[in-house]
Structure 1
Amino acid sequence: MSDVGKTNIVVMWTMGPDDVAEGDRIFESHVAWMEGHPRSGDTALLSYKISKGPKLSNPVDPNSEPTGNTIFVLSEVYETPAGVDEHWRQAMETWQDLPAFMDWSGRVKVGTLHSGTVVQGLW
Structure 2
Amino acid sequence: MKKIFLILILSLFTTNSFADGHSNANGFSITLKVPMADAAKVEEMLMKHAKWMKETHPLTGEKKLNSYSIMKGPEWKNAGDPSQGTTGNIFYVLNEFYENPAGFANHQQLGSQWSEIQEFQTMLFTYQVGYAFPGTTIETIE
TM-score range, shorter chain: 0.7 to 0.9
Distance in structure 1 (CA, Å) of the matches to 2:77 and 2:127: 18
* Residue 90 (str. 1) matches residue 110 (str. 2): yes
Unaligned runs of 5+ in 1: none
Q: Percent identity?
A: 29
Amino acid at match of 2:93: V
Q: Does structure 1 retain, via aligned residues, the 8 Å contact 2:32–2:91? A: yes
Q: Does structure 2 retain, via aligned residues, the 8 Å contact 1:12–1:73? A: yes
Distance in structure 2 (CA, Å) of the matches to 1:101 and 1:110: 15
Q: Does structure 2 retain, via aligned residues, the 8 Å contact 1:12–1:111? A: yes
| SS class of match (1:10) | strand
Amino acid at match of 1:16: P
CA deviation vs aligned residue, 1:103-122 (integer Å, no higher than 9, x gap): 22232233111232222332
Q: Does structure 2 retain, via aligned residues, the 8 Å contact 1:43–1:80? A: yes
* Residue 25 (str. 1) matches residue 33 (str. 2): no
Q: Does structure 2 retain, via aligned residues, the 8 Å contact 1:15–1:69? A: yes
* Residue 71 (str. 1) matches residue 106 (str. 2): no
Amino acid at match of 1:67: T
Larger RCO: 1 or 2 (CA < 8 Å, sep 6+) = 1
Amino acid at match of 1:34: M
Q: Does structure 1 retain, via aligned residues, the 8 Å contact 2:57–2:65? A: yes
Distance in structure 1 (CA, Å) of the matches to 2:122 and 2:134: 22
Structure 1 runs (4+) greater than 3 angstroms displaced: none
Amino acid at match of 1:51: M
Unaligned runs of 5+ in 2: 1-23
Q: Does structure 1 retain, via aligned residues, the 8 Å contact 2:75–2:87? A: yes
What TM-score, normalized by structure 1, do the two folds share?
0.82
RMSD: 2.1
